[in-house]
Structure 1
Amino acid sequence: MNEFTLDLNLTARMPSRKDWRIGTIGSGAIVRGCHQVAYRNAGFNSYAIASRDRSKAEEVAAEFNIPTVHNSWQELIKDKDIEILDIAVPPNRQLEIVREAVKENDHIRGILCQKPLAMNLEEANEIVLLCEQAGVKLAVNSNMRYDQSIRALKTLLENNYFGEIVLATIDMRAIPHWQDFLKEYDRLEMLNMGIHHIDTFRYLFGDPEKVTAITRSDPRTNFPHIDGITQYTFQYADGLMATSLDDVWAWQGEGTQKDMYIKWRVEGTEGMALGEIGWPKFPEKGLSTLKFTTRKFPDQWIEPSWDTVWFPDAFEGTMASLLCAVEEDRLPEINGRDNLRTMATIDALYLSIKEERTVKLTETLQTLK
């Protein structure tokens, strides 16, 4: 029996310099529980932080030994010692910050934005153009691309372990924390949670030819929204179908049992792979899993293992990719220009819901500049 020895490319390639001075805007749970933990583990240089609430920024600075706390993000971006900007604020605020960050601030070499990049494709496009015109490297924190099971699956696909891919599915039964700022928006699930799955399908299989989406409201979410529980399908020119069911009403409350998970499955003509994402267990250490069967290794299941997790370890990869891109003067792996195609796919899915039809991706891509 042959031994499986393929390097699954789980570990992000690190920059040659780890002392790039990073300035973080935001002090919320994602910064405290993921960004700063990952940067500390990787040995990156968190140099400064600012937040709407200075006291919270000071708490994060104390916990992670960040030497500089600024009174505002406006003050932070003018700090000439900062080379990398890490923006971790709601999506409707990112454009304003990027506009100011690229104005006569030659010290800023790279920007990492949260996903979604903006509330709509038009604003996302403006962010990308602003950074391109200023010569600033722009990366988007689409961190599910660095989940260990997804990273391993990508490597197996690139090495043709499963032949022609026929069907890919994601089944999510988990309850995201809908932050207060989301109450201002009508786009909910696909833009803020499903975006992980939408971007992951693109990462694994490329752009779909057309998409279809259906939705219903989430009974537990008491503010207006277009999409709560959603199901959407990507169709590719070669016949591949990729579909996700995102159930954000996965527990009925006290008196009932929980069954939370995110599972995925990919089937090809020469084999298949299936796995589970560990994120629903966060903040506990929930390992993602993968097992696969292939004619390359007949009549067996192969189950690689690792000891890192999506939250927070994947956040090493998103920042490392940006730092490497700055050093090597190239696009980051998860760059803004590529992310526009994820945003265009999301716009196509909302158009599908609105008009109750299948939408070709070219209908939204044509608006890009």
Structure 2
Amino acid sequence: MSSYRIVVVGCGSMANAWVKNVMEREHAEVVALVDIKAEFAQAMADRHGLTCAVFTDVAQAIKETGANLVLDITIPSSHFQVCTTALQHGCDVFGEKPMAATMAEAREIVDIAEQTGRSLSVMQNRRYDANIRALRGLIDAGTIGRVGYVGADFFLAPHFGGFRDAMESPLILDMAIHTFDQARLIIGADPVSVYCHEFNPPGSWYAGNASAICIYEMSDGSVFCYRGSWCAEGAPTTWEAAWRVTGEHGTAIWDGLGTPYAEIVAPGDQAGKFVRDHKRVEADVTWPGRSGHAGCLDEMFAALREGRRAETDCRDNIKSMAMVLGALESAKSGRKIDLRAYWR
């Protein structure tokens, strides 16, 4: 008998990586596939050689298969219904970001998770990378001292076509949560307030605002500045963004691809120097985990086995979601938004 009897909800292309991953795990069995179109679920079963049942209703799939884990790989507007149904039927949930479409829905999901004793863990795959863990290690070790500023630059020009081109706020709604969540991981702090200016620059092929500058006050007293664009042709950053973290003793740098490093004030007497001497400190890249989706799923399954909350549990991830929806409210209102009421 498998430890995890899994129902996969949402059988679009994104679900393929999830299904392949769980099929490779011991003590995990896909017992049902669910989609609003049964033929999509059956196509997924055929693609992966699964003989499980297919359904169009989540509750029915759980009841008839005795499932205890649901993978929610649906569109964001469906997350609330799928997740709450699964939690109320005794299942834990692993879901795609964002955890819900609104803060009200997100808070209700957290409440239901508390009431049922079950959990929702959210796919934040960009946390799971040896280099970002090494950058966090530099900060945690006090290498640069107390953090005062965190900057992330995200400049790419993907020509997706399809729904993103028509979205009102494609960058912030569809992508920025990754970078916002990374910032929280790197410095170990939560958002307090945000001011956001969102715009659509010349040459953009998006109908909505594809660029933004966001300034966050964080709970450790630092300031996080996000500068991003999804229509920036030339000189692209990586999808992991380019990072600068400045502290009282120096600065940590990560280009989103290579090994992070810090430059700190060199030891010795430097009194009277207009520009002080610095020394370079290489980050220790020793994190043993897997990267991306696989690493995030490893953490989710480990949390279930160990009876603890996953790193991306909904009760934590709601703070990253607040950064997204708070930024949109600020952009629309032209005001700085207090985020503490969003997630507390």
Question: In structure 2, which of residues 130, 139, 142 is the aligned counterpart of residue 157 of structure 1?
Answer: 139
Larger radius of gyration: 2
Partner letter of residue 28 of structure 2? Answer: N
Alignment match, 2:334? 356
Shift of 1:42: 5.5
> 1:38, 1:272 → 2: CA distance?
38
Shift of 1:309: 10
Query: Which ranges in structure 2 are unaligned for 5 or more consecutive residues?
Result: 267-277
Contact 2:253 2:262 in 1 (8 A): no
Alignment match, 1:100? 85
Shift of 1:79: 3.7
Shift of 1:359: 2.2
Alignment match, 2:67? 82
Equivalent positions of 1:196-215 (< 5 A) are: 196-205=178-187, 206-215=189-198
Partner letter of residue 216 of structure 1? Answer: F
Contact 2:97 2:122 in 1 (8 A): yes
> 2:237, 2:289 → 1: CA distance?
17
Contact 1:20 1:83 in 2 (8 A): yes
Change (3 A) 1:335 1:237: closer
TM-score, normalization: structure 2? 0.81
SS in 2 for 1:102: helix
Question: In structure 2, which of residues 249, 258, 265 is the aligned counterpart of residue 270 of structure 1?
Answer: 249
TM-score, normalization: structure 1? 0.76
> 2:2, 2:295 → 1: CA distance?
13
Farther-moved stretch of structure 1 (207-216 vs 233-242): 233-242
Question: In structure 1, which of residues 234, 239, 246 is the aligned counterpart of residue 228 of structure 2?
Answer: 246
Alignment match, 2:308? 330
Shift of 1:44: 6.7
Partner letter of residue 61 of structure 2? Answer: L
Partner letter of residue 275 of structure 1? Answer: W
Alignment match, 1:339? 317
SS in 2 for 1:193: helix
Shift of 1:196: 0.8
How many residues are treated as equivalent by the alignment?
327
> 2:284, 2:49 → 1: CA distance?
36
Partner letter of residue 210 of structure 2? Answer: G
Change (3 A) 1:273 1:44: farther
Farther-moved stretch of structure 1 (238-247 vs 59-68): 59-68
Equivalent positions of 1:119-134 (< 5 A) are: 119-134=101-116
> 1:69, 1:216 → 2: CA distance?
47
Equivalent positions of 1:21-60 (< 5 A) are: 21-32=5-16, 34-39=17-22, 45-47=28-30, 48-60=32-44
Shift of 1:55: 4.2
Change (3 A) 1:241 1:260: closer
Question: In structure 2, which of residues 132, 154, 161 is the aligned counterpart of residue 172 of structure 1?
Answer: 154
Partner letter of residue 269 of structure 1? Answer: E
What is the root-mean-square deviation of aligned Cα atoms in Å?
Answer: 3.3
Partner letter of residue 90 of structure 1? Answer: I
> 2:287, 2:57 → 1: CA distance?
36
Question: In structure 1, which of residues 302, 307, 310 is the aligned counterpart of residue 282 of structure 2?
Answer: 302
Shift of 1:90: 1.0
Choose between structure 1 and 2 for higher RCO, CA contacts under 8 A separated by at least 6 residues: 1
Farther-moved stretch of structure 1 (295-304 vs 51-60): 295-304
SS in 2 for 1:70: strand
Change (3 A) 1:236 1:95: closer
> 1:30, 1:80 → 2: CA distance?
23
Shift of 1:187: 4.2
SS in 2 for 1:340: helix
Query: Which ranges in structure 1 are unaligned for 5 or more consecutive residues?
Result: 1-16, 252-256, 278-287
Alignment match, 1:235? 217
> 2:235, 2:263 → 1: CA distance?
33
Alignment match, 1:290? 259
Contact 2:87 2:93 in 1 (8 A): no
SS in 1 for 2:154: strand
Shift of 1:295: 5.3
Farther-moved stretch of structure 1 (238-247 vs 170-179): 170-179
Change (3 A) 1:198 1:303: closer
> 2:219, 2:109 → 1: CA distance?
30
Contact 1:24 1:46 in 2 (8 A): no
Change (3 A) 1:40 1:264: farther
Q: Percent identity?
A: 21
Contact 1:90 1:181 in 2 (8 A): no
> 2:307, 2:289 → 1: CA distance?
29
